[in-house]
């Protein structure tokens, strides 16, 4: 019988450790490590983000794969996990909101609330991963994925520490290099935000 292997991962930056540690040596956040199962008996050998299978189950490789398809780095990576990805169609991603987020000390000290603009940014990062995967390219230092427009943004409920943001982004259309999406964010199956977004990949 195969032995279950476990490891500890920083929920802020994805750093992996073989044992629990109080302070992350990568992002310097405290008490962000959680235990994850990294291999189980009879696990599938299918690659992450497979075109034929949109389900993703290998968490340790996920954060590395996410970082490969995002130009962002700490403290601005707002995607922790991909739940589902269908090329040229849609993506469902997760952002785990913790009290260690760098924006909470100032927004607000007496009542921490995730800024709405960062919820929209998390949607945009999910959209970027979907687009890069659909195009089968990786971000480079010679290009930037810009917002081209944001319409019909609505915030329904505040997002607080301990919430898990479930981000769903669907491709509406692609025209002359401009990608248009419809995006929603839910917490515990309740809609907290929605938006229509346009993004474009431009050389710098």
Three-state SS annotation for 37-101: EEECCCCCCCCCCCCCCCECCCHHHHHHHHHHCCCCCCCCCCCCEEEEEECCCEEEEEEECCCCC
Sign for the pseudo-dihedral over CA of 43, 44, 50, 52:
negative
Q: Which of 69, 72, 107, 111 is catalytic?
A: 107
- Distance between CA 79 and CA 93 in Å, rounded? 7
Quick: pLDDT tens for 109-147: 999 999 999 999 999 999 999 999 999 999 988 888 899
Task: Band the pLDDT of 38: cuts 50, 70, 90.
Answer: low
Residues 54 and 84 in one domain: yes
CB atoms within 10 A of CB 22: 9
Residues 82 and 175 in one domain: yes
Residues 185 and 154 in one domain: yes
Residues 81 and 179 in one domain: yes
Task: Band the pLDDT of 176: cuts 50, 70, 90.
Answer: confident
Known catalytic residue at 107: yes
Residues 64 and 97 in one domain: yes
pLDDT, the chain, mean: 84
Residues 11 and 62 in one domain: no
Residues 17 and 54 in one domain: no
Query: Residue 89's domain spans which residues?
Result: 47-203
Pick from 50, 53, 57, 51: nearest CA to 83: 57
Residues 31 and 64 in one domain: no
Task: Band the pLDDT of 29: cuts 50, 70, 90.
Answer: confident
Residues 14 and 51 in one domain: no
Domain count of the fold of the chain = 2
Q: Is residue 62 predicted with pLDDT exceeding 60?
A: yes
Q: Is residue 90 predicted with pLDDT exceeding 60?
A: yes
- Distance between CA 179 and CA 197 in Å, rounded? 8
Residues 147 and 64 in one domain: yes
Residues 26 and 93 in one domain: no
Q: What's the CATH number where 94 sits?
A: 3.10.129.10
The greatest distance separating any two alpha carbons of the chain, rounded to the nearest whole angstrom, comes to 53
pTM for this entry? 0.71
Residues 68 and 129 in one domain: yes
């Amino acid at each position: 019988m195969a032995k279950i292997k476990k490891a500890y991962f920083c929920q802020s930056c994805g750093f992996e450790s073989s044992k629990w540690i109080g302070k992350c040596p990568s992002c310097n956040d405290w008490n962000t490590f959680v235990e994850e199962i990294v291999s189980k008996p009879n696990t599938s050998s299918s690659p992450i983000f497979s075109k034929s299978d949109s389900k993703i189950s290998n968490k340790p490789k996920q954060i590395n794969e996410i970082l490969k398809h995002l130009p962002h780095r700490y403290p601005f990576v707002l995607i922790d996990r991909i739940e589902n990805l269908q090329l040229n169609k849609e993506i469902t991603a997760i952002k785990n909101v913790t009290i260690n987020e760098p924006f909470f000390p100032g927004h607000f000290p007496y009542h921490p609330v995730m800024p709405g603009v960062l919820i929209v940014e998390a949607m945009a990062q999910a959209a970027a991963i979907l687009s890069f995967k659909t195009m089968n390219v990786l971000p480079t230092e010679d290009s930037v994925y810009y917002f081209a427009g944001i319409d019909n943004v609505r915030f329904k409920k505040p997002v607080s520490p301990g919430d898990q943001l479930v981000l769903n982004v669907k491709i509406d259309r692609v025209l002359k290099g401009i990608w248009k999406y419809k995006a929603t964010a839910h917490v515990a199956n309740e809609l907290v935000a929605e938006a229509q977004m346009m993004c474009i990949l431009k050389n710098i």
